[in-house]
Amino acid sequence: MRVLMVSTEYPPMRGGVGRYTANLTKALTNVDVNNAQEKHSRANNDKVEVQVVCDDKGGGQFSGIHPRNSQNSQVLLKLVEREKPDIVHIQFEPGLYGLELASIGSRVGITNLDTFYFECSIPIVTTFHSVYNLRQWMDQTSIVKKSGKTGAFGVPARALVRLWKHFINYRAFVNLNKHKLQQSKAAIAFSHNMFTLLGAGKRNETIYHGAEPSSRISLSREENKAYFSLHAPSGYNMNNCPRIALAVGFETLLKGWDIIQKMSIPDRWAVVVNSSRGSYSCENLDPKFNNESQIPKKKGIIDLKKGFLSDDELSRLFYASDAVLLPYKITSGSGVMFDALAHGLPFVASDLEFFKEFSNQGLGITVKRKPSEFARGLKLLDDNYNFYKTTVEKFKVKLKWSQIAAEHIRVYNRVIKETKMIE
């Protein structure tokens, strides 16, 4: 079975979609057929060959596509004709494929993959990374650079234009995803909630975002705390804050870290923050947290300022922590949440539908996006920590990449079989 994996973003480029694609690709080529459960068997396809096409800065086998390349469809069509894969698997994040929004009137959303979806002769499997309701879609208008050709006085004007364009284009965005859903032989999403927004279909497959700790690091919490110098200053009783809540990810307004800045950190907790920028980052942000390297007595916040972390460093940081904070304004599916769960950490998150789906399974707590509510959530988590920890430990086996890969292979086999029957 030959799979052409499509993602403009791919390591060594920084980005959640690229990291996910790389881990999935590795798992697909390494999954143990003999140990796969019967329902995840590969049928007659004993070997999976995955080739990745990405941006020139990525490390895939093929390159030539880019978010702003209007010729992406033509590049992919020629590649498919030459390589003749059995499956084309597209990691579909509209912003990574030149999403265009109309300024006047609403229409079907446009990306530089639209032609490819219509003309590709090979069956397409699509993983959807962005699916929003109207409220979350409009919340994206908070992303406006604070400077530019029009200067500071142009910020309100740009914000108004962005607000208008988003409002008139929500239906176009919904239709864009639905058209990709209809043109795919199978559609994959990370939660049931995403398919509620995408629309029901016989070809829908909910497959969790895979996540596993690095196997190359110590599991010792104290050793990992020491690695990041997560200790209290002289004279400060660390016993008063034995638990650490982690906020980690890209510097974006949509992460909602303004909540952390305004929080009164509850007793027994300290908050550790680490932010970085993605390869296609367009936001002009500088999160303002306490700059001290140690836990200050009043705030209880440490800003690590380590930037983008390797998988090993990220695992160290998760293992040094007790929970994750996810005060997001919007999300379709949080890779940070899945990573935290894979390391045995429950979460406190905004009461968005995606997070609710997992809090309803006892994996964390959702609260209103207010500083006082997040402080209350940490207290509630502390009071019931053993329950949440036990539930997460049972759930995390579902996120193993070998299982995620086996579920993908099952989908690929079904698509190939159905395609042959039609032919």
Residues of the chain with pLDDT under 70: 31-46, 102-109, 141-156, 158, 200-202, 231-241, 251, 277-299, 423
Q: How many CB atoms lie within 10 A of CB 397?
A: 9
Whether cis (ω within 30° of 0) applies to the bond prior to 12 is yes
Ordered alpha helix ranges (H), 152-283: 155-182, 192-198, 221-227, 258-262
Contact 337, 347 (CB under 8 A): yes
Domain boundaries, the chain: 2-210+400-422, 221-399
CA separation for the pair 229, 293 (Å, rounded) = 8
Q: What is the pTM of this model?
A: 0.85
Give the pLDDT of residue 322. Answer: 95
Give the pLDDT of residue 35. Answer: 46
Q: How many CB atoms lie within 10 A of CB 52?
A: 23
Instruction: Count helices and strands (H / E) in the chain.
Output: 14, 13
Contact 145, 78 (CB under 8 A): no
The CATH architecture annotation of domain 2-210+400-422 reads 3-Layer(aba) Sandwich (3.40)
How far are the Cα atoms of 15, 142, 259, 298 from residue 247, in angstroms, in the given order?
17, 20, 11, 18
The CATH architecture annotation of domain 221-399 reads 3-Layer(aba) Sandwich (3.40)
- What DSSP string describes 212-244? ---TTS---HHHHHHHTT--PPTT--GGG--EE
Indicate if 221-399 has the same CATH topology as 2-210+400-422: yes
Give the pLDDT of residue 233. Answer: 46
How far are the Cα atoms of 349, 351, 410 from residue 356, in angstroms, in the given order?
9, 6, 28
Strands 364-367 and 87-92: unpaired
pLDDT per residue as tens digits for the range 137-184: 777 766 555 555 545 555 667 677 777 777 777 888 888 888 899 999
Contacts of 81 (CB under 8 A, 6+ apart): none
